[in-house]
Amino acid sequence: MASLHFLQPLHSLSSSTLFFSQPSFRLMHFSSSLKSNKSKRLNLSKSLTLTFALTESSDSPQPLETPSSKSLLLQLSKCFDLSSDYFQQLPTDLRLDLNDAAFDLSNGPIINECGQELGETLLNLSRAWEQADTSTSHSLVKKLPELESSLTDDARSAFGRRLISAGKRFKGMGQYGQGDLQKIAKVMITAGEVLSASTSSVSVSNESKSDTRMFKFGDLQVAVSPQKAYAGAAIAFIYGILSWQISQGMQSIPESSLEYANDNALLLTKSLRGSLLALFYGSTVLSGFTTVGLLLLAKQLSSEKE
């Protein structure tokens, strides 16, 4: 009886233990379900992140490939496929701009910079532009893609700079006709930029040579340099001194020392004398302004070269 009485608490203890084991099992089951839900959410977030990253990478714009210089030159030759009298029909101001483009294309030591064959081709092309010969221009531009493949890095860079300078002249012509001049300008500038970017060994002195200032007066075109500006200032100063001396010499002659046949001759002489004095005094003033202006221009050009 004592043993049975001793085992009774054990039975009750076991039942209580079993009673408390069910909540613990439920708690363990609940925690495991939380862990599984967390893992599912984590996997879901990872999949969403991966999907978003793939979508974003696929939607991101791809960089455009730069066309080759040869393809651009071929496109340029197609742009020059115009009517045979296209350049001749241009207005006078656009013809002058075309002459400027010809000068920029062939200015300077073109044979030394671009090579013998390409240099002669560009010289002939500039002459064709000056003569407004559209057919010859087209035939010469068609040779450029073949000549480009045999150029050195320095020649390619010099060729590119000349195309950019001439293309800017075409761009300055504005919209004319069907916009053919703007198409030529766009392709020419792009081809020049590609050719110039293909080499990194570009000297600063060659770049400064291509930026030559031009003085235009009608069909007359003169390249302006500091030396020419100083020479022009000296000539203007000498001319001003001569004009001043002549005007002073005419004014120093008294009217009473001259004899006239009649009053009409006297009036004619006075009017002529006054006109000549005004002319030479005006020449003196203009020579002074010209001298100062040319000196300032020469200093500006010298500072830009430095």
Average pLDDT over residues 279-300: 92
- pLDDT value of residue 35: 44
Q: State in Å, rounded, how far the first CA of the chain is from the last one.
A: 123
Q: At what angle do helices 116-130 and 153-171 cross, to 10 degrees?
A: 10
- pLDDT value of residue 128: 92
Q: How far apart are CA 225 and CA 231, in angstroms?
A: 10
For the record, the structure tokens of 97 come out as 């701009």
Task: Read off the pTM.
Answer: 0.48
Q: Where are the domains of the chain?
A: 69-212, 227-305
Average pLDDT over residues 239-252: 90
Q: How far, in Å, are 83, 177, 216 from residue 93 at the CA level?
A: 20, 15, 12
The 10s digit of each residue's pLDDT in 120-150 is 999 999 999 999 899 999 999 998 988 888 8
The closest alpha carbon to 114, from 160, 73, 76, 83, belongs to 160
The 10s digit of each residue's pLDDT in 171-186 is 988 888 788 899 998 9
Work out the percent of the chain whose per-residue pLDDT is above 70. Answer: 67
Confidence of residue 3 (pLDDT cuts 50, 70, 90): very low
